[in-house]
Chains A and B, each alone.
Chain A
Amino acid sequence: MTAQMAILANRLETIARKMAHTLHRTGRSGLINTARDLSCCIITARHELLTEAESLPSHVLVGPNLMSEWMQRFHPELRRGDAFLHNSPYHGNSHAADHTILVPVIDDGGVHRFTVFAKAHQADIGNSRPTSYSGAARDVYDEGALIFPAVQAQRDYRDLDDIVRMCRLRIRVPDQWWGDYQALVGAARIGERELMALAAEVGWDTLEQHSRQWFDYSERLMEAAIRRLPSGRVTRASTHDPFPGTPPEGVTIKVTVEVDAAAGRISVDLRDNPDCLPNGMNVTEANASSAAMIGIFSSLGAVVPRNAGSYRRIKIHLRENCCVGIPRHPASCSLSTTNLASKVGNATQTAIAELAAGFGLAESGTIVPASMAVISGRDPRYGDAPFINSLFLMHTGGPGAPEADAWLTTVHIGDLGLCYLDSIELDELRYPIRVEARGIRTDTEGAGKFRGAPAGFCEYGPVGSTLEAWFASDGTVNAPLGIRGGGDGGRSAQFKRDRDGALTAVPPCGGVILEPGETLLAICCGGGGYGDPLQRPAASVAEDVAEGWISPERATGTYGVVLTGGSVVDEGSTQQKRHDLGSPSRPPGSPAG
């Protein structure tokens, strides 16, 4: 890599970062200004992803390219000062709740050079119910989202107020949406401004040339990374829990990964899967491709830039009208970024782990648990003003990896740990709720040589008003799977606690209403373990016990580590115990716990 390429790559990353920073700092909803459920990137005029610093994988790996293409198809003559609002699942976007602003960057001669892209998950998009996760919606009409297929939002840097008026009449808490819309426009305009400044300094042709070199360089890195894997073909399945609109046994997603090491190529086939479902679980073209890509890029054991160059070594096979493929209008894709997308990513990374020791990952936790519910109601502290937001109160879905324990605060495959966790104080200040407790659950980690994250929990309820909470919690039945002998991660669960303290389980997909004095106890999934727990260093197991991640009983029963005095490893007994647990009576590859 030449010095100039490094500098320009950094400069472009800086621009994407600055865009994201702008969006994060100026957004009005907690999703943006607290959880950082947002992404910013730069796309070439040929609709290739160039730079995606610190962006959510499910938002940017595939999608920005398709959206840029649709923008140009619908608006062949792009002009400086244009901006387009795009959230259509049928035209390259993720779920409709991810509003995106695309701004074409036009040089002084009127030539379209790049497109800057800013996307953020909205708390509300005008759905029929107060949630952006409409799992039970039969179709897009039942879902109720306003759909904007690359609709012009600004001309000559001024808002086209028609769209703003429409949204204000249809989206809950319109001032919040308006603020978020402005934050998106601001982020994109910052990106445009910085790119123009960079081009003024180095020239558009240099940037164009840099893009080509950067793609070639990234392709070489990708090729080298794939060549380190063994060749082979593996099919893995991962099952989603039963939800409204699924068969009673849930939905099993099959993923076939094929590595051709000699050629330095990898392919993922998602075609052998069910047709679109009559609910909100269908995964868009962008999300299905991104999920498979996430599984690949997380599994390589080397960090390779994600862009159109490295993508030349990847082939994703999709099918029209498939629930993890290319859904046709009016199939609802309300849960496109989360539920079945997690299955695709998980099956991809476990397939690679199965194929190649030391690569891949165990399964991540799956979502959307009640700790991440969309909450809404009226706030008695501010004259009963309406509020709506998606909480990020607890998520611990990190999978065990070949050389390290899980990254604890991972939401799922779609964020890989990038999203932030809510501050309890900030949530209580902004919404009339109280968070009674939050933490990790002992003995729920995905056991393994490298452990998956333990399940987490939080409990919250309204203060002085009624609270509505909507979620779509997978993982209540099907746990995140361990791999290469690793155990499964803890399952999710959700309960309503009444005023007397009694707990009642509530359905995983839908909404609940809480009155003052009632709370919601939300448990989120952990992550699967990687490798045989009997191979975990005994000292690490002892530390896990001392720190309360696991009990002494689990240390002995699952990890074969015997402790004396609660914390000191009894080497002799541990050796014996591990020998006994590892004896042939235990089926090979099965989790020990």
Chain B
Amino acid sequence: MAATEPGGQERLPNFIGHSTTGGLANLPEPGPNTVGNVAPADNQGARIDGASMLRLACDVGGTFTDLVTASEGELRLFKAATTPQDPVDGVLAAVRIAAEDAGLDERAFLALVDVFVHATTRGVNAILTGDTARTAFLTTEGHRDILLLREGGRLDPYDNRQIFPRPYVPRALTFEVPERIGAAGEIVRPLDEDAFVRIVQQLATAKVEAIGVCLLWSIANPAHELRIGELLAAHLPGVPVTLSHQLNPILREYRRASATCIDASLKPLMGQYLRGLASRLRDAGFAGRLLMVTSQGGVISAEEAAEAPIRALNSGPAMAPVAGLHVAAEDAASGDAIIADTGGTSFDVSLVRGGRIPWTSETWLGARFTGHMTGFPSADVKSIGAGGGSIVHLDSAGLLHVGPASAGSDPGPACYGRGGTDPTVTDCALILGILDADNFLGGRVRLDLERARASLTPVAQTLGLRVEDAALAALDILTQNMLGAIEEITVKQGIDPSRTVLIAGGGAAGFNGVAIGRRLGCAATLFPEGGAALSTNGAMLSDLVFSDARVHYIRSDAADSGAAAKILEALQASATTFLTASGAAQSRVDYWVEARYPQQTWEIEVSLPWPNTEGAVDLASLVSAFHAAHKSLYAVSDPASPVEFITWRVRAAAQLGGLEKARFRFPPSKPAEARRRVFLPKSGWTDVPLYRLDAVPSDPPASGPAVIESSFTTILVPAGGQARRLPSGTIEVRS
């Protein structure tokens, strides 16, 4: 942690927080479902009462570590700089700021915390930077090339500059095990244990740090995988192993093997990280439950995440749509929204469609066909390197670019004065007057305008532009890049942005959020009250999730509805066990079955009303529901055909609960000035009105050009924009 480094005290603090010192204006009436009223502005009761419990959500991003605290229906946001060498330092720094704010010491504060929800991109970053464990892949003899060949397929077939992807585990670290299980689970060739022990010696010689085991048909009969697990535990103790049938018992060997090897390769790193986080939190006084956000937008225990780190692979970005879903419902009464989360390093786009978060069942780490398939469904999120820390630079041909490289948290933008000399988006926003040098992050960080200008000057000179014009050009390119990412998942999926709202979250969302919404033709751009930490809010709102499945083939023309009922009873029992253990007051359990016509290989989901009063499954109505779903999705159905039911599933969500209507409480930064001088396209330096985020009028709205500011975010409302504050605290900007 920088603050404890030699000389660190003289430098800018690497953590940024705020303290509650004053009043809040314009608080709305609490809604009927509000849990615990927000204290009046001048009431010190906003401080944490020793008797109440606290929930924390923490998202470690590339630049900032965001911490949101929830107590008595009130949310507060704190930010600390991310500490890449040891991210737990940044987490604890954020906790200390929050404790200080609550007027408690760290230990007393953490003792109040019953749930700590954590999200991190550590796993995915390790893969992108090649920083995972040296992993071996063990598979059935004769099938060494499962990871090399994948499932075929290609994008842009006429672009023959594409590089065929390397296997996730190199062939040199792939080992063929003499054994074979057949499609019915029969042992075709027994496991040759003597030969296997020789393979173990090779693994030791190769100094592998993790092992993924995926044998053909282990999903039909796991005996060989289990025996290999035992032998590895005996001969190579301490080397983490993932067995494919345990991690992800799906048909199709490539995607199962890929999931298995990705998971194994993350185990040393993520196991160490999560154990470190848990033990350091406990040492500091935390006695509650530590939960990890999954790639699917739910949470699981940290122990489960360490056992299967692939489940938490993309945990940060998966949370933004969870928050977006709530914002869209609350503020726009809209079922369709584009969620754009602009952090310091990355820009993540996701969608809400028809009031749901679209999932992708074929998740690729990286691009489709050139990345690696994770084998798990996940929230559909597109990420590019663009954010407040993105570096502005020229290429060899003199063309201006922004990102994807980021100044990160260390050294950070030039204007932070921490040794960074590359100009960044944040520097541009400062040069243009959008940011206030004296009021960045509530005044905790003083920005250095001269350093910002000096960093951008070489670029401006090469382009023959004034520094301000170069900064405008850089923001325009940033906007272009972000539009490209949004179009990747909207226009290309046939979504018409003019029928959606744009929900702009993340600390750097305000520089060009309105411009992006305009260019897309969105009905409105929404800046949620706690949008500076959008994905952390999502983590706070997410449910503890559990899913279970049974593969049992039932064909409608030889139906046995008794068997179906037995399966559902078993699923119900396992969901009940989970819910009881979770202690949640509110929960939701969904059942569905994956079904298809004979000879199809891709199923569609049909939801199942269960449990019902009859205690029996009504297969006839399931069959008609399947025909109807097939017709609606694919324009045809085959009512004369039997239907095959394959996989029966339950998903239970235990609501941590009660925070849907929770409100953010922000400190007033310094007394707001009335005007700000901003450099605008065409008109140049212009005096514009300045509003505090919590003091933006509702009716009539504030007209652009204007700047809206809080401790954590600054929104530029361009000319023609109309901004108003909604009852929820969200700022809505229409053009």
Interface residues of A (CB under 8 A from B): 7, 10-11, 13-15, 18, 22, 24-30, 33-34, 36, 54, 57, 175-176, 178-179, 182-183, 185-187, 189-190, 193-194, 201, 297-298, 300, 303-304, 306, 361, 381, 392, 395, 398, 401-410, 415-421, 423-426, 428-430, 434, 436-440, 459, 463, 546-548
Contact = CB atoms under 8 A, between A and B. Distances in A.
B360 interface: no
B160 interface: yes
Contacts of A415: 157
Nearest to A546: B172
B161 A401 contact: yes
Contacts of A298: 158, 160
B598 interface: yes
Nearest to A178: B638
B170 to A, nearest CB: 6
A439 B156 CA distance: 25
Interface in B481-532: 487, 491-494, 496
B635 interface: yes
Nearest to A431: B183
A179 B597 contact: yes
A430 B252 CA distance: 12
Interface string B128-164: 0000000000000111110011111111111111111
B630 A7 contact: no
A21 to B, nearest CB: 9
Interface in B53-81: none
Interface residues of B, number: 54
B188 A176 contact: no
Contacts of B496: 201
A425 B164 contact: no
B491 A189 contact: no
A546 B170 CA distance: 9
A420 B151 contact: yes
A548 B156 contact: no
B144 A425 contact: no
Q: Which of B253, B597, B600 has the most CB of A within 10 A?
A: B600
Contacts of B144: 439
Contact of A189 (B149, B150, B636): B636
Contacts of B163: 404-405
Contact of B148 (A304, A437, A440): A440
B189 to A, nearest CB: 10
A43 to B, nearest CB: 19
Contacts of A183: 634, 636
A29 B602 CA distance: 12
A425 B157 CA distance: 27
B583 interface: no
Contact of A421 (B150, B493, B600, B641): B150
Contacts of A418: 153-154, 157
B636 A26 contact: yes
Contact of A407 (B154, B172, B252, B636): B154
Nearest to A545: B172
Interface string B567-598: 00000000000000000000000000000011
B440 interface: no
A548 B158 contact: no
Contacts of A426: 251-252, 601
Interface of B: 141-145, 148-164, 170-172, 182-184, 188, 216-217, 251-254, 487, 491-494, 496, 597-602, 630, 633-636, 638, 641
A547 B157 CA distance: 25
Contact of B600 (A179, A185, A548): A179
B164 A398 contact: yes
B137 to A, nearest CB: 13
Nearest to B251: A425
A547 B172 CA distance: 5
Given A27-B600, A193-B635, A417-B152, 12 more contacts: A14-B491, A15-B494, A30-B601, A33-B601, A175-B598, A185-B635, A297-B158, A303-B159, A404-B161, A421-B151, A434-B182, A546-B170
Contacts of A24: 602
B149 A408 contact: yes
A286 to B, nearest CB: 18
Contact of A28 (B157, B493, B597): B597
Given A14-B493, A425-B216, A426-B251, A417 B153 contact: yes
23 contacts: A7-B491, A13-B492, A18-B494, A22-B634, A26-B630, A27-B600, A175-B598, A179-B600, A179-B638, A182-B636, A189-B635, A297-B158, A392-B152, A398-B164, A403-B160, A405-B164, A409-B152, A420-B151, A428-B182, A429-B183, A430-B599, A459-B142, A548-B171
A316 B634 CA distance: 38
Nearest to B630: A26
Contacts of A7: 491
Given A26-B600, A189-B636, A420-B153, A440 B145 contact: yes
Contacts of A178: 638
A438 B599 contact: no
B48 to A, nearest CB: 50
A369 to B, nearest CB: 15
A439 B601 contact: no
Contacts of A193: 635
Contacts of A175: 598-599, 641
A230 B494 CA distance: 40
A193 B633 CA distance: 12
Contacts of B149: 408-409, 421, 438-439
Nearest to A403: B161
